[in-house]
Amino acid sequence: MPDKAGLRARLLAARALLTTEEVRRAAGELSAAALRLPELAGARTVAAYVSVGREPGTRALIDALRARGVRVLLPVLLADNDLDWAVYEGSHGLARARLSLLEPSGPRLGPEAVTEADAVLLPGLAVDARGMRLGRGGGSYDRVLARLARVGADPALVVLLYPHEVVARVPEEPHDHPVHAVVTPDGVRRFTAPGPR
């Protein structure tokens, strides 16, 4: 099994080869597939993120959720790599932040705000057949998942990826948590169902 750093490097290199048109088309397909998820259709609050660069696109999805009346929480990266949260008020309310991220400029709600989410859209580089997610390695979302577990929150955990990023196996560590579903332009694959809210 490849180490996490090697697998991350290969996956990031593959993303770098995607054309702008491929990224744009995949974003539309991802949004349409994700919006059909029952976990998002019935959600009152969704924690998401704003995709940047060649990441699988989330902007159409978060705009569509907001248009449905869903309260969309977006992360704000703190100095220690933990995440604070703020409500998404539309693209006009996004500001460029460190690491080239786009973050909401509104009032901060605190790191615990994510525990109110009915669904959490997690960034990732890969998910394996067991639902184990490979992130970028900063640990921000490991803290989010640990926080959710600590308070007993069990939102639907969903990752948006390109089809080739669903792999046979990713390396895992004791702190890693499986996700419930992955959405690709090809459709949805479920691993485990979230518990009752």
Q: Could you list the mean pLDDT of each consecutive 10-residue stretch along the chain, which spans 197 residues?
A: 82 95 95 93 95 93 96 95 95 83 92 97 94 88 92 93 94 85 93 61
Please enumerate in sequence order all residues whose Cβ is within 8 A of that of 5, keeping only pairs 6 or more positions apart, or say none.
Answer: 137
C-beta of residue 74 within 8 angstroms of C-beta of residue 62: yes
pLDDT for 93 equals 87
How many domains does the structure of the chain reveal?
1
Q: Flag whether 197 is in a domain.
A: no
C-beta of residue 155 within 8 angstroms of C-beta of residue 194: yes
pTM > 0.85: yes or no: yes
* Residue positions forming the annotated binding site: 4-8, 50, 55, 133-141
Residue 172, exposed/middle/buried by CB under 10 A (0-12, 13-18, 19+)?
A: middle
**What CATH number does the domain containing 17 carry?**
3.40.50.10420
pLDDT for 184 equals 95
pLDDT for 156 equals 94
How far is the CA of 123 from the CAs of 84, 92, 106, 139, 173, in angstroms? Answer: 16, 22, 22, 12, 18
Q: Flag whether 77 is in a domain.
A: yes
Residue 100: count other Cβ atoms within 10 Å of its Cβ.
Answer: 8
Q: Flag whether 27 is in a domain.
A: yes
pLDDT for 193 equals 58
* Residue positions forming the annotated binding site for substrate: 50, 55
Q: Flag whether 196 is in a domain.
A: no
* Residue positions forming the annotated binding site for ATP: 4-8, 133-141
Q: Flag whether 145 is in a domain.
A: yes
Give me the domain span that covers residue 78: 4-190
Q: Flag whether 158 is in a domain.
A: yes
Q: Flag whether 103 is in a domain.
A: yes
Q: Which amino acid is at 21?
A: E
Strands 94-96 and 187-190: unpaired
Q: Flag whether 84 is in a domain.
A: yes
